[in-house]
Structure 1
Amino acid sequence: MGDGSTVVLEATDVWYYSRGDEAAFFEWLDRIPSVRSYGGRVSTLEIVVETPVDDESLRELLAIFDRYRIDLAQLRQLDNSQIGPWFRDPQKFWHEYVFGTSAN
């Protein structure tokens, strides 16, 4: 998949609505191809992602970060030439959160 490089993303103060919701979060992480590992320290979960990330993994990371209200701006560091233009599309809901600019 990647070149062996990794990026560490941080999920801080994630709020789970039930034990099942928490289990679903970690099961989701386990199914994302680029996620190599994760581990916690205090209230922060560190998610190690292999780079360059592929479209499928990035779409899943966008979804899980949005669903669990994790800072989307971190995903900007995963942008690379292999990612399709959909990620940088200013019309997408995440664009302002990831890139810090609006479509207007």
Structure 2
Amino acid sequence: MFLIVNKYLLRKRFVGVTLWPFIVMRTPELKEDIVFINHEKIHIRQQAEMLVLPFFIWYVIEYFIRLIQYRDNYVAYLNISFEREAYARECELSYLENRPFWSFLAYL
């Protein structure tokens, strides 16, 4: 995992994005935010399990399904199974130690 600080790679409303094996964040202070880092580590695990490219294909398809379902960009984003898992478990700092394989499926 590599941490990169670059505010120009992110749209204004995003504070971070994970592109295996990189976590790109808007500000250097986020390096110290353990909840933020754990959230992004969950995405790294999800991407690794799906061999990266299928993760992003699934992510985009599910985003558009959720957009049709909820008719709101932000609500659609929050309801993507990968995001639901990451937000639900981001405060559990030991979650990745015992996380079952493909556990995002429980959040579909």
* TM-score normalised by structure 2 residue count: 0.27
- Select the structure that is richer in helix: 2
Which structure carries more relative contact order (alpha carbon 8 Å, separation 6+)? 1
